[in-house]
Structure 1
């Protein structure tokens, strides 16, 4: 007995669906990037920095856990709660747009630490210590904060007391600033907000992103690049790597200034592997001292960078340092060897 037309149609549709699914699987497998296996040592980790508050002061680490969304304190250092990089953000009450030290330079002096398993401790000059209960989605308001390139990122609001503290510290009134927390339970989607960058930087993707970091989860800079920049500025310039707010600072006798521009795959220690996905475009934040919150009246080092490090990409700004996507997570330490993939 032959199959009727309805049965034939069902079988044909099922066959097409199966072929489509299998073809998609094969394409995804083909598209997967192969991590290199041959490495060349080029230096070592000089410093590790964590920035719990976007635009806030750094936490200097001797070791860190590298996660898919950025650096985190280790359980050996802080047992009950570990701070993550750029886990907190300041935003406007009315417009829900993020605020940084570009507008409020004193933000670079705000320190964040872990008080206990339930609270952050936040400190700044002339201010009382603020204890913020770590918020959750059940008991606190969840909002979307307008960030870099008009990307909207979810934030859990930290309450009125935190809003009052940040508003007073920045001399804003009427609870005009609020504090948001990222619990890491979301996947950022940059396909619409950053489509020009995605078209230009072929290794950049949603998987590159961190919590409230502008774009990628980890940033790296070469100490020799900063030395060269100081020579170009002249007048005994003492711009430091801290002006650029990177997570990983590397050094090495054989390193040349701006070598990091040309690195593709990077390995730190025995296990952690990352990929260079984008140049780090610099802004006015680099002109603000992380030690006193004062903006350089001569716009240095940005003014000098603009004379010889102007990028031809879609942002058309000066660059220094790199954005990295984490391919393989793990622990890293100050002093660990740094490798690049051997060509």
Structure 2
């Protein structure tokens, strides 16, 4: 039976993920302890989000979840500690910053000058870290979710990304045939990896059921930018696996863009636990 083989949380958008054995499902994505997926984001001084697309060394910014802090580490930098609880601060002490992620503008919580200095020093460019505000609202595009309002934080657009192991195996087989090295799954930054289904079967799924509680619905194939070319261990760009995908993964559903993986939303199961090893029941759309 198909099962979950990997779960990954990305506390800071476009920085390294954290492999976890289990997580809590929220409507806006995975949650581990007090930390949500893509809860923090780096922005320019003008508020425009930045990512590995411009700064591939962001891949080497790693996080560790503690009881009261998110520890952030990067090469040749001292550890940085971000408090998880800010409820003790008066609301007037939480500075708001207008930020833009793709076409969406919202108000986020600025994490302060000391934090901004740390990230600016590491990346070699002026930037600031912001946190998704408790009172902020952002939803996935209803063109794809239909009548469902699916909240998300600082993801590119959807609360969860799911990829099957067989899809990566298929890509790597083609890469090897062309004399290219295989790539690990982390190049594509999924939240959920499922094994035991056919390559790209996720593209045709109507739903994924887990633990008789969680119902995930695929809504949009994930178009691919140049980021999969970046080695997530070294932060160094190399040959892009998207080059291989171009030969057979142009998707007319998204105007011919190259797709790999499916953006999914949560239809039911808020507060339920999802874990590596869970069986997955897949329903194919006919």
Q: TM-score, normalised by structure 1?
A: 0.76
Residue 188 (structure 2) aligned to one of 236, 241, 244:
244
Partner residue in 2 for 1:45: 4
- Show structure 1 runs of 5+ residues with no match: 1-41, 75-81
CA separation in 2, counterparts of 1:205 and 1:55? 29
> Aligned match of 2:124 in 152, 163, 171?
171
- Tell whether 2:87 aligns with 1:133: no
- Greater Rg by CA: 1
Determine if contact 1:112/1:121 at 8 Å carries over to the other structure: yes
More helix by share: 1
Unaligned 5+ segments in structure 2 are none
* Residues 1:210 and 1:104: Cα distance change in structure 2 (over 3 Å): same
Partner secondary structure for residue 130 of structure 2: strand
How much does 1:186 deviate?
Answer: 2.4
For these two proteins, the number of residue pairs brought into alignment is 277
Q: Which structure shows the bigger proportion of residues in strand conformation?
A: 2
* Change in 2 beyond 3 A, CA 1:291/1:315: farther
Q: Does 1:157 align with 2:107?
A: no
Q: 2: CA distance between counterparts of 1:114 and 1:57?
A: 13
Question: 2:19 maps to which residue?
Answer: 60
Within 1, Cα distance between the matches of 2:260 and 2:191? 13
Check conservation: 2:175, 2:182, Cα contact below 8 A.
Answer: no
The 3 A distance-change label for structure 1 pair 302 and 342 is: closer
RMSD: 1.9
What SS does structure 2 have at the residue aligned with 1:72? strand
* 1:8-47 paired onto structure 2 within 5 Å: 42-47=1-6
For 1:318 and 1:205, how far apart are their aligned partners in 2?
26
Per-residue deviation, residues 246-303 of structure 1 (Å, max 9, x unmatched): 0100101xx211000000111122311111111111111111111111101x3x2011
Q: Paired residue for 2:251? A: 311
The match for 2:29 among 70, 77, 102 is 70
Q: In the alignment, does 2:37 pair up with 1:85?
A: yes
